[in-house]
Amino acid sequence: MIVIDGHHCDMQVGNFTNLEEILVKVMEDGAMQDRVVTDVLLNNEPFSEIYPHQAEDIESSEIASLEIRSVPVGEMAMNITRELYKVVQIMGDGAKHVAELFRQADDTEALELYQDLLQVVRDFLGMIGVLRTEFTLKEHAAFSEGVEEISDLFGEMTEVMENEDWILLADLLEYEFLPATERWKGIIHLLRDDIRQVNKA
């Protein structure tokens, strides 16, 4: 039995060799066009591949039931923008914490957390970039300015790190990076509006 988004599917499990063949066929049939798969339930248990092509190793004889759940791409994008607000909050809190540690001369822990913060910021900017490419039709000056501000700031902070001036780094995090992250809340709001417009079209 194969169920896609709550509807029974005409495909029969027995007509396929393994799970991967079924999933490929579902994707090819167009049922998933402009949709993102969120869950695959195999025999009522959540399934996700631990290694590439793991689905190939699950023979059709082992499949009693298969349920595939998805959401429209636009809805997924809106959900991601909601998460981005939380990421901005995490970036702000992280910067405050790192600044405090530098001021307390706990340099080792501060530097470790600073590296984590950099990774979060990179991932954040990457996700914003993907959403903007996929969904936004407008050129927002605020977006370009926001990216430029963060890039310039990280260039400056890298120089300060090389000089091991931890107090100055703490100041940059607290007095420049924090306000910059707050401005990103407004940029995410613009992005959400753009995605909403694209979803209506």
> Total domain count for the chain?
2
pLDDT bracket for residue 201 (50, 70, 90): low
Final residue before a domain boundary, out of 64, 88, 112: 64
Final residue before a domain boundary, out of 34, 64, 94: 64
pLDDT at 138 over 90: no
The side-by-side arrangement of strands in the sheet containing 66-72 is 7-8, 2-4, 66-72, 35-42, 45-46
Same-domain pairing of 46 and 138: no
pLDDT at 29 over 90: no
Same-domain pairing of 101 and 7: no
- Boundaries of domain holding 184: 75-200
Report pLDDT for 34.
76
pLDDT digits (tens, 9 = 90+) for 100-111: 999 999 989 999
Do the domain assignments include residue 151? yes
Report pLDDT for 137.
57
Same-domain pairing of 127 and 162: yes
Q: Which residues contact 16 (CB under 8 A, 6 or more apart)?
A: 22, 25, 60
Neighbours of 129 (CB within 10 A): 12
pLDDT bracket for residue 168 (50, 70, 90): very high
Q: In this structure, are residues 25 and 11 in contact, taking their beta carbons and an 8 Å threshold?
A: yes
Range in 30-44, 88-102, 162-176 with the lowest mean pLDDT: 30-44
Do the domain assignments include residue 174? yes
Report pLDDT for 139.
73
Report pLDDT for 96.
95
Do the domain assignments include residue 69? no
Same-domain pairing of 87 and 171: yes
Same-domain pairing of 46 and 94: no
For residue 53 the two structure tokens come to 């092509």
Report pLDDT for 111.
92
Same-domain pairing of 165 and 97: yes
Do the domain assignments include residue 13? yes
Summary mean pLDDT of the chain: 87
pLDDT bracket for residue 91 (50, 70, 90): very high
Phi, psi of 44 (to 5 degrees): 65, 15
Report pLDDT for 200.
75
pLDDT digits (tens, 9 = 90+) for 49-61: 888 888 899 898 8
Final residue before a domain boundary, out of 43, 64, 85: 64
Do the domain assignments include residue 135? yes
Same-domain pairing of 103 and 22: no
Do the domain assignments include residue 48? yes
pLDDT bracket for residue 67 (50, 70, 90): very high
Do the domain assignments include residue 70? no
Same-domain pairing of 113 and 32: no
In the chain the first and final C-alpha atoms are separated, in Å, by 35
